[in-house]
Structure 1
Amino acid sequence: MSATPSEVTLFALERFWRHIKSAERVASSRAEAALGELARGSGDVRSRTWCALLLHATFVDTALVCDVLDALDEQSADGRPPARLLDAIGFAHWRGGHVALDAPVDTSSDLEASLRQLRAIPALNNQAVSEILLALAGTKISRLTAPASVIRLVSEALDYPVFIASRSLAPVVDLALSGFSNQASDGGPVYDLAGDKEVYAYFGSDLADLGIVSVLDRLNAAGSFLDIPACCRSFFSATWESCQEQHSGDLAFTLLSSHRDWGKGRSLKISWQCNPYGMYMGGGLLWHFPCSSWCEHTIAVVDSRLRLLERVDSEFAAECCTFQQRAFRLFPDRRFQLGIDGHGGVLVQPT
């Protein structure tokens, strides 16, 4: 299960504290009070919204920190944050327009019907369909990156709300991975789901939670909400910066090239549940980079997802697994080739 708002990671709190202290216009006592509000993580939607705003404002616009803190003292009559501040973290979209973060979400989705509706949208691959289904089932918060028009289609087809982060992205295409992108630059602000900007979209049963996750995601601190094991989050934090410089963000290659049998003329044996190359092909049930090729926590996460999908549609579940179970050859320039035939590179055999 994904984390609750009160379980915001210490990592995020510490980064928030360092940045808010550096804002010259914010008095230390006010900053301490704001941090306390965030750490308590009280359950009502207003408090959680403020927490998200405070985090986001710190990284987007220092002046916004002051606006948020002032608004904590002088709230509007309905107790909601000013519209400008809500726009800073993003917006919830449903039934053709923006909705309040406390809008009730019906969590009693018919997953079989939802699967049929999602598979009827050509732009969605198996990975995206699986992610959304798990969010509808209430097992996790799911994040998708897709053109705004596609997200709009999904929301309309399912009659389900989605939270859109305030900034679009411009993916950096990795030719070694057949166009998959592990890196992206800022693509400018997002105000609605018109057009085809690539956006970060979050699905889940609580819109206020999704706002917080979108903020933490900017800090690379949303992993606990996204069903990523703690050991894999630590691996990401320790290796992401160097991986971007050396391998264009290809942590899958970073992981396998550190395998004990790499460079010894032998094939690499890995757990199929820990094979991230299915993700590069748009399928599979693994959507994070595992800390090892036999990570027991990752195996448990993937097995749990598989069991749920098997109850919805066993044929679709098996199809998803196929992406991770196929052998492939991995080359020193990070290219990979499906199948055991061919020459060169290292044969990787998921088992």
Structure 2
Amino acid sequence: MTTHAPAAKPANPLIPGRQVGVPTTMRATVQDAYGPAEEVLRPDDIPVPAPEANQVLVRVHAASIHVGDLVSIEGEPIIARLATGLRKPTNRVPGTDVAGTVVAVGDAATSLRIGDQVFGWCTGAFAEYVCAAEDHFLPKPANLSFEQAAAVGVSATTALQLLRDRAVFGAKVLINGASGGLGSYAVQLAAAFGAEVTGVCGPRNVDTVRSLGAAHVIDYTKEDFTRGEQRYDFILDNVANHSLARTRRALTERGVLQSNNGTSGGRWFGTLGTVIKTAVVSIFTRRQAPPSIKFTTREDLLTLKAIIEDGRVTPLIERTYPLSRAAHAIEHVKTGHARGTVVLTVEAPTESKS
């Protein structure tokens, strides 16, 4: 019996000239409603986007998941829908942090070429191809795999922005929630900046946090750092398992608390109440930093790329899932117990497989 390989998908006629092996359709994880990932996410074939003049098309090798993806998929807190779409998601394909290979470039794109291995951010990362402005992508750090490079995005840039002016050489810094996606970067970056780092985590992550560069590690099941005698110049709180006032007790006289407590809170407003409280308290005491909204920037990715390439920071990946199991990966992240970052891997599109 003779078998035949499936016919290759035709080249994308919407992409002029500067492309290589680009099909008309791609596999993606999509959603048409808000809700639990296992209920609303599904695989689908959708058109491959065509890059505009200043854009590039990237064949995705890996995409990572962060807590913001949970918000955009579940639509909670509901107030967040003002940004993601009131009745249903504005963007059908979730995901932002990505790494892959450039396969097409717009006529005005000059900094990247076909074949370049890149990492960066975009809309719709949970797909075989993504399209965004060329300045959203940088050459992939040579010492990272695509999976590791995809994990450098929201979590790493947020940690950098929160710590850059605080974790100075010699400062005593405490990271509460030191083993998560953001926390694992925060420990490494603070250590890279010359701070004396204390990481707070659960018992299964003690050795991991120490390996990231923490000089001291506190197992929160055995010790409450807010009741200890040690005082810190800066506390980055990613957990918010203590009140603001109680956490500030662990500060030095001139120390500062930066609260960054993830997605906990009510269904309608999430952490907005805590954010407002933090903003008000920060008016009356310099020991409480105001709420901080961070965005990924090219400049911060350039900084991180340099720090990563000189070996001071390495992305921590707990687990990888194939794109087809995106819903399972999201549910794992939702538990709040993932060590480091969870990454989706994307196989080569059917038409390019041998």
> Considering the TM-score relative to the shorter chain, is it more than 0.5?
no
More helix per residue: 1 or 2? 1
- Structure scoring higher RCO (CA < 8 A, sep ≥ 6) equals 2
Structure with greater strand share of residues: 2
> TM-score scaled by structure 2?
0.23
TM-score by length of 1: 0.23
